[in-house]
Amino acid sequence: VSAASCGSESDLCGLTGVLDDCFCDVESIDVFNNFKLYPRIKKLTEKDYFRYYRVNLKRPCPFWPDDGHCAIKDCHVEPCPESKIPVGIKSGNYNKYSQAANTISDMNDCEQAKELGAINSTLSNQSKQAFADWARHDDAQDHFCELDDETSPDAEYVDLLLNPERYTGYKGPSAWRVWNSIYEENCFKPRSVYRPLNPLAPSRGLCLEKRVFYRLISGLHSSINIHLCAEYLLDEGWGRSVWGPNVQEFRQRFDTAVTKGEGTRRLKNLYFLYLIELRALYKVAPYFERAFINLYTGNSQEDSATKELLLQVFNEIRTFPMHFDEKSMFSCIVWFCGFDREEFRLHFKNISRIMDCVGCSKCRLWGKLQTQGLGTALKILFSEKEIQNLPEHSPSKGFQLTRHEIVALINGFGRLSTSIHQLHSFRLLLKDNR
């Protein structure tokens, strides 16, 4: 592979200039993310509230017979013992319904945590009714993802920091089949004809909504590939595994010459997805800025520091001048494109179900989390009016986020932020290898 085709200091695989469909350039995103936002997001995802994710990795694949799980040791996900989970996080119903953590003192053992399953008895009748309405609304919410049943005996807490996303060596048949099926979900149904789109073909000429859907999936795929290239299994000698960046693997997936120009488009789709999720965080900030919303773990000092850091992230996001305008994303005429919100939602929900077909447990974990994060971002963008009408001092019947969605949203965006940060590292490595 010619180094000149991918990796000059100013042009990574042709990745430069203005992105399609939005008025923003790659260079501005790089500076904003790598020097301002990434350090804060990284620190935030290390906080207890965001590091523990409850997930069911034993759900059967709903689309084809299970071809068996990966037997490679690095595919394994180590669940977190209940004793290690912060007591406030284990009290799932409490977090889901009230989040008014300032009304409850710190809890120190599991027996006390069980009491948090019910709504706090010190709350007013009006608040209790609001919380009950909140719960009913949450259960009936039109989610963009297939949500795990957190009460299932197969659902377990996972410490994301101890189970990092990286290349495990798995190359089973489900890896190809999953992504092929995901791209097939890019097939929208026009009013006159049902015609699949070629996922390998350029996305030009498509209706804007269909092009957006394709770019979301391509951006997510690119981000995951970058993580795998940056944390590649390099050596298993002497009883320990060594991970690090694999430049050759990166070139194979993104080099302009090897991919016949497709690598550049894949990377631009990553930036496109980054802007969409960045816009969702911008939109949802008022939800978290209300005083009674607390990211509850049971440790008041930790909770206060976590919320303060989250608010700093929102303040930093407000300084970015080139936000993606989601109104243009859905400006295509409905009758011409055959598009509606429900079709968009159902297509994306199917993609989240496909993640249960991934053979590698660690890949399944991070695929489910990042898909859930994107689904939560779409839920936010489709709920602009409800967020604008949020009451300042009480829960809203119109819009709510569960802890599961919040953790996925922040960690999912954190993965995108990490991808762009890792691109800078690959740029330097490619420059050295010229």
Q: Binding site, residues?
A: 166, 168, 179, 218, 221, 253
Q: 431 with 7: CB under 8 angstroms? A: yes
Query: Which residue shows structure tokens 């489910």?
Result: 368
Cα–Cα distances in Å, from 421 out to 31, 317, 373, 417? 10, 16, 19, 6
Alpha-carbon distance values, 367 to 17, 77, 212, 398, 434 (Å): 30, 13, 20, 28, 34
Dihedral of CA 52/54/59/61: which sign?
Answer: negative
Burial of 262 (0-12, 13-18, 19+ CB in 10 A): middle
Would you call 363 a catalytic residue per the annotation?
Answer: yes
User: Do the Cβ atoms of 367 and 355 come closer than 8 Å?
Assistant: yes
- Binding-site residues for FAD sit at 166, 168, 179, 218, 221, 253
Checking 91-94 for CB contacts under 8 A at 24+ apart, the result is 91/116, 91/117, 91/298, 92/54, 92/117, 92/150, 92/151, 92/403, 93/117, 93/118, 94/119, 94/120, 94/296
Active-site positions read 360, 363
